[in-house]
Amino acid sequence: MTLWRVHVELEDRPGRLGELATVVGAAGCDIVALHVVGEPADDGAITDELLVKVPDRIEAGELVEAIGSAGIPCTLLVRADAAELSDPATTALALARMVAADPGSAPRAVATMLRARLVAPDAPAHPHTHTLRVGTQQVRLGRAWPFTATELSRAAALLELASQLGLATPVHTPSDDRILLLLDGTEAVLRAASPEDSLLVAALHARCSPETRLARFGDPSPRLAPGLLQAVLAGENGVTAVVATSADGGSVVGLATLQDRCGGEVTLTVVVEDGWQGRGLGTSLVRRAVDLALTDGADTIAASTASGDMRLTRLLRRAGLRPTARLEGDALVVSAPLVAAAVAG
């Protein structure tokens, strides 16, 4: 399956949305998200954005033809990323929380909200760029399709929040972050977690598949237990947490935690969003966790998963560890000495 972003001009009349869903389904495709991104035109039509899963055997052009056959204009077709499947309202709240904690992150937050990139003021002109003002600063944004007035008004509200908060000093300095270039060329950022990340981490948990949640948290539910998330991110009970974010900082796509145990042992948990797996991000999270454990004087790292699940063992090996495994009831417990890892690294 490939994820595509599709914009359509939909008439405001009963049954029209149902007709759109019918032709998309008949084409063998699946609408996984829909929201309004444009204001009503003179004829009452509204621009709706769809995220559509298209099977590999179907050309994206066939989807456009199917939509057009119902008399619905299709104005945009571009590839989308699995990270964009998060609920827009949840994402907006998470970005507002991020800006409230770190007003200096407003330009990155706006870029994330609009699925755009930050463009240097002196960069060559591009058909789809827009300049917004943040206090005395100008933020220039660009992307592969036009911005709508509705989107820009949402961005303006976020920038106004940052302006009222006075554009304070960022919580995280660049030296706290580690920029990663993943196997497919995608960039991600590793940094220490904080309580301000709670909404972003909750969104990560909700986006993960039930299988991933079960393997890493022991619970397939899309909601974490009340208080658990804050305790982890606040460093309670000897827990240290590291998050991996998208390059713009607007989405948490991975999380690693360490918890102190007796006798120099630390317990590790790692979760990577399904769409980001297979790119080397989990290995980077484990290596960062090992660095932190060694700094704190630990000599052994341990983790557990369901019996028969060897992915965790392979992950630790890719990170340079030498794990051994044992069965404890229905769980596979994997442990590795850190002294060997420090010498090997």
Q: Is the pLDDT at 167 greater than 70, yes or no?
A: no
Q: Are 309 and 303 in contact (CB under 8 A)?
A: no
**pLDDT of 68-114, one tens digit each?**
999 998 988 888 876 666 667 777 787 887 777 777 778 888 888 88
Mean pLDDT of the region 290-317: 87
- The pLDDT of residue 52 is 92
Kindly report, residue by residue over 226-283, the tens digit of the pLDDT: 677 777 887 777 889 999 998 777 789 999 999 988 778 899 999 999 999 998 999 9
Calculate helix-pair angle for 16-26, 60-69, nearest 10 degrees.
140
List all residues 6 or more positions away from 159 whose beta carbon is below 8 Å from its beta carbon: 106, 110, 132, 133, 134, 139
Range 214-231 average pLDDT = 75
Inform me whether the pLDDT recorded for 303 exceeds 80.
yes
Is the pLDDT reported for residue 171 higher than 50? no
How far is residue 313 from each of residues 60, 149, 193, 234, 330, measured CA to CA in Å?
Answer: 39, 50, 25, 28, 16
In the predicted structure, residue 182 carries a pLDDT above the cut 90: no
Mean pLDDT of 197-219: 83
Tell me the two tokens of residue 298: 């630990």
Average pLDDT in the chain: 82
Out of 17-21, 179-183, 265-269, least confident range: 179-183
What's the pLDDT tens digit per position in 116-146?
888 877 777 677 888 887 665 678 888 878 8
